[in-house]
């Protein structure tokens, strides 16, 4: 409790570990809340939770609460899952895919993800999961980073097509990206242009928390 109170004045680090995949991982009390950070960016809770909540609000809490199946690619500490469960009161099935088992251990220990009854956690590479799964989803949330870097496969045509295939009619994709330079800005523009206008409605929400851009994709048929 003392550390939590002190965190309103200065951040208080309570745990630090190294992961072969995520490198440095830290749990910190900041402004009275636990946050999960990598070496250079916020991984869960804090600013990331605010960013993804903006995207979910853009889709509409009233739409999401009636969905049956949500897929989260890139769980980390599970802040977007907590938003779904606690803020939206989502009762449908959530499947969370995370490549790093150390991150999941931390999420269970500090953020109690394993106590969420409608959540199934899968420790697997997101690309492999998307390639193999036959299930379709009402909402697919993509939030995959290794520190500040995003894997190239997220922007490749094959992966885009596969995500679209897994999306139910009238379903949504919420894709969190980071733009640090002009090349990455052009990358996002190319990504958006790869969708057929008669099949998808696409909206970008730029410059959230300075460097993040959300891409919201709605499947029309």
pLDDT tens by residue, 116-150: 999 999 999 999 999 999 999 999 999 998 777 89
Q: How far is CA 79 from CA 36, 74, 83, 108, 141, in A?
A: 9, 11, 6, 12, 12
Contact between residue 15 and residue 3 where contact means Cβ atoms under 8 Å apart: no
Percentage of the residues of the chain whose pLDDT score is greater than 90? 61
- Domain assignments of the chain as residue spans, ordered by start: 44-219
161 alpha carbon, distance to own chain's centre: 19
Q: In the CATH scheme, what is the code of domain 44-219? A: 3.40.50.150
Q: How far apart are CA 133 and CA 156, in angstroms?
A: 18
Cα–Cα dist 188/12, whole Å: 35
Against a cut of 0.85, is the pTM above it? yes
């Amino acid at each position: 409790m003392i550390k939590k109170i002190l965190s309103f004045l200065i951040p208080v680090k309570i745990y630090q570990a190294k992961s072969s995949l995520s490198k440095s991982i830290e749990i910190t009390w900041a402004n009275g809340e636990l946050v999960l950070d990598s070496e250079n960016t916020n991984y869960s809770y804090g600013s990331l939770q605010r960013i993804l909540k903006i995207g979910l609000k853009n889709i509409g809490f009233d739409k999401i609460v009636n969905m049956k199946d949500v897929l989260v690619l890139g769980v980390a500490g599970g802040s977007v899952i907590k938003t779904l469960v606690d803020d939206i009161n989502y009762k449908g099935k959530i499947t969370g895919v995370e490549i790093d088992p150390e991150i999941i251990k931390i999420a269970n220990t500090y953020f109690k993800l394993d106590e969420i009854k409608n959540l199934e956690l899968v420790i697997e590479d997101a690309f492999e999961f998307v390639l193999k799964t036959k299930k379709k989803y009402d909402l697919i949330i993509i939030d995959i980073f290794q520190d500040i870097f995003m894997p190239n496969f997220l922007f490749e045509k094959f992966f885009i097509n596969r995500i679209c295939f897994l999306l139910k009619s009238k379903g949504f994709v919420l894709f969190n990206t980071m733009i640090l330079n002009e090349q990455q800005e052009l990358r996002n523009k190319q990504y958006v242009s790869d969708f057929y206008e008669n099949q998808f409605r696409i909206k970008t929400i730029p410059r959230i928390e300075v460097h993040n851009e959300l891409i919201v994709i709605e499947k029309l048929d």
